[in-house]
Structure 1
């Protein structure tokens, strides 16, 4: 089944909304983006795999002022598999309080649930070195 335009918009909005919720500290709102049992993999940052919304909230609160003050997402690409699961890839920019910035790639698994599209698995890959030929 091909993704409809409405599905594509809903999934793109889902991914875009993450930064808005996170930046205002609305961790309860993350339930509108992720499943309760989401696996959020920040191993590349030393944080391991966070299992569930409560673990995401706890990790963000533990970081405190070390969290970015702004999350921006761009370059969203959606690919549907034969079983209706969507793999989304996007680029993220994090702006820190001191003005420094970092770049990541988000790899999301998105599934249709009774509550609508939700991210079931996210892997965050930092981009720390420029491309070398």
Structure 2
């Protein structure tokens, strides 16, 4: 029979992975609904969201401003869908790393087209409120090594 403490540790690891996966999956619907405040709440107070070649937002107010800003609002006005995953997750105590793809689709009037395909690396921390993002870096998969490295194991 399995050691109960080992089983408890395994269960906690599975619950942590699912919580991280759920947090990351919730970003797309929040971005598409235009809820900048709720999207920013996925980050710690001093968290960072870095979109290479476009923006670096530090803190929840700046992260919310990305969603509330003219570039994102114009994309929403056309019709868009932010999709993330699948992701790989590595948890070490109260910190986690996740990496994977994101795809933003844009409505063109006659269908949808891939507007942005990117590599993502997420750094997360367990907080009193649950898992929160401390840093997300996103880079277009445009052939650059910098983007590919975001997908590489640590």
How high is the TM-score relative to the length of structure 1? Answer: 0.84
Q: Give the structure, 1 or 2, with the largest relative contact order (CA under 8 Å, sep 6 or more).
A: 1
Judge conservation of contact 2:48–2:136 (CA < 8 Å) in 1. Answer: yes
What is the DSSP-based 3-state SS (H/G/I as helix, E as strand, rest coil) of the residue aligned with 1:12?
A: helix
Structure 2, unmatched stretches of 5+, are 1-8, 145-154
| Cα shift at 1:31 | 4.5
Aligned counterpart, 1:55: 62
More helix by share: 2
* 1:2-61 Cα deviation digits (max 9, x unpaired): 76111111110000000011100112212541112111111x2322x2111211222232
**Equivalences for 1:13-32 in 2 at 5 Å?**
13-32=22-41
Large movers: runs of 4+ above 4 Å: none
Matches within 5 A, 1:104-115: 104-115=118-129
TM-score (norm 2): 0.73
Structure-to-structure mapping, 1:117-132, within 5 angstroms: 117-129=131-143
Report the secondary structure of 2:107's partner residue.
coil
Answer yes or no: is 1:11 the counterpart of 2:20: yes
Residues 1:92 and 2:98 are matched in the alignment: no
How many matched pairs?
A: 128
| Residue 89 of structure 2: aligned partner | 78
**Bigger shift: 72-81 or 55-64?**
55-64
Q: Which runs of 5+ in 1 are unaligned?
A: none
Q: Are the aligned partners of 2:36 and 2:66 in contact in 1 as well (CA < 8 Å)?
A: no
Moved more, 23-32 or 109-118: 23-32
RMSD: 2.3
